[in-house]
Amino acid sequence: MEQRLVELQQEALEGIKKATDLKELNDIRVSYLGKKGPITEVLKGMGKLSAEERPKMGALANEVRDVIAQAIEEKQSILEEEAVAKKLASETIDVTLPGRQVKTGNHHPLTRIIEEIEDLFIGMGYTIAEGPEVESDYYNFEALNLPKGHPARDMQDSFYITEELLLRTHTSPMQARTMEKQNGKGPVKIICPGKVYRRDNDDATHSHQFMQIEGLVVDENIQMSDLKGTLDVFAKKMFGEDREIRLRPSFFPFTEPSVEMDISCKICSGKGCNVCKGTGWIEVLGAGMVHPNVLEMAGYDSKKYTGFAFGIGSERIAMLKYGIDDIRHYYTNDVRFLKQFSIHE
């Protein structure tokens, strides 16, 4: 029995020495020191020994167990250290590698143009107003001198939600909304940027959803020359002193007289192309003197107060400023197009 215990110790120590990982070492622990292991097996034969030999064998068996347990413990710390070292080596960070480039976004060209226009008008003393995109028939048409059945409603083909609600076809409802809040008193000087919707067929210069910036100035003694001067400053600041501008007489039921402003086409330098439809000009805004009926409906005394208003097409301004040849580029999210407006490269 003594011989067998010494052999088992020898075998276990050999195995421990050869173990290459923690799992293998644990298998050795279970097989030699476990309840069903060979040492326990040997000790079962103790009954056949003499009373003198029995304590000797018990002590030897305990010694063998201790030697094996001690060896396992030592090997375990060696293997653990090795595992940590291996992990550290495999996870080393190579600080000399080039870093990953962080891609920065940039403002959409329309956002840029709108912010530029806002800054320009804020500099002239205007404040910014905002209104709902889902608008009532009253503010979109009736309060603007366009009663139900008025033929001029056809100028702006609309997306109706109910009989009385529609997606606003222009930002002009904000004229009526803003004036109403004033209770007929005091000056108004606002711009209102926002989305508008029309059942227009999409082409190079038309989109079914686009952006407008409404402007409204109401006070005593506001004249057509104030409107003309304002539009002149706007056009010169946006496009430079030498860019050609023209005002054409036009018609809007909510302004009288009414005008439209065209800017010479940048794409063809005025020679005529598919963007300006061969005319050399692109229409960028509608404007006029606020119609007395609109002032009165919003609570203003039209004998005391006058005003002017304008509605700028933001996409067209950006097209003319940046030389963009198709309005649809703004809405198709082609990164190659958008990247050209990055301020980071």
* Residues near 238 by beta carbon (within 8 Å), at least 6 away in sequence: 116, 117, 120, 317, 321
Instruction: Output the smallest distance, CB 331 to ligand FA5, in A.
Output: 11
Site string for ligand FA5, 31-50 (x = CB under 6 A): --------------------
Instruction: Output the smallest distance, CB 326 to ligand FA5, in A.
Output: 12
What would the 3-class secondary structure string for 254-312 be? CEEEEEEEEEECCCCCCCCCCCCCCCCEEEEEEEEEECHHHHHHCCCCCCCCEEEEEEE
Tokens matching residue 123: 């500099």
Query: In terms of CB distance, is 131 or 288 closer to ligand FA5?
Result: 288
Instruction: Output the smallest distance, CB 251 to ligand FA5, in A.
Output: 10
Residue 125 DSSP symbol: T
Of residues 121 through 160, those in contact with ligand FA5 by CB under 6 A are 156
What's the one-letter identity of residue 310? Answer: F
267 touches ligand FA5 by CB under 6 A: no
Instruction: Output the smallest distance, CB 97 to ligand FA5, in A.
Output: 49
Residue 323 DSSP symbol: T
**Gap between the Cα atoms of 142 and 294, Å rounded:** 9
210 touches ligand FA5 by CB under 6 A: yes
Of residues 306 through 325, those in contact with ligand FA5 by CB under 6 A are 309-311, 313, 315-316
For 199, list phi and psi in degrees, rounded to 5.
-85, 55
The window from 70-78, 198-206, 227-235, 299-307 that contacts ligand FA5 (CB under 6 A) reads 198-206
Q: What does the binding site for ligand FA5 look like in residue numbers (CB under 6 A)? A: 156, 170, 172, 198, 200, 206-207, 210, 212, 252, 255, 258, 283-288, 309-311, 313, 315-316, 327
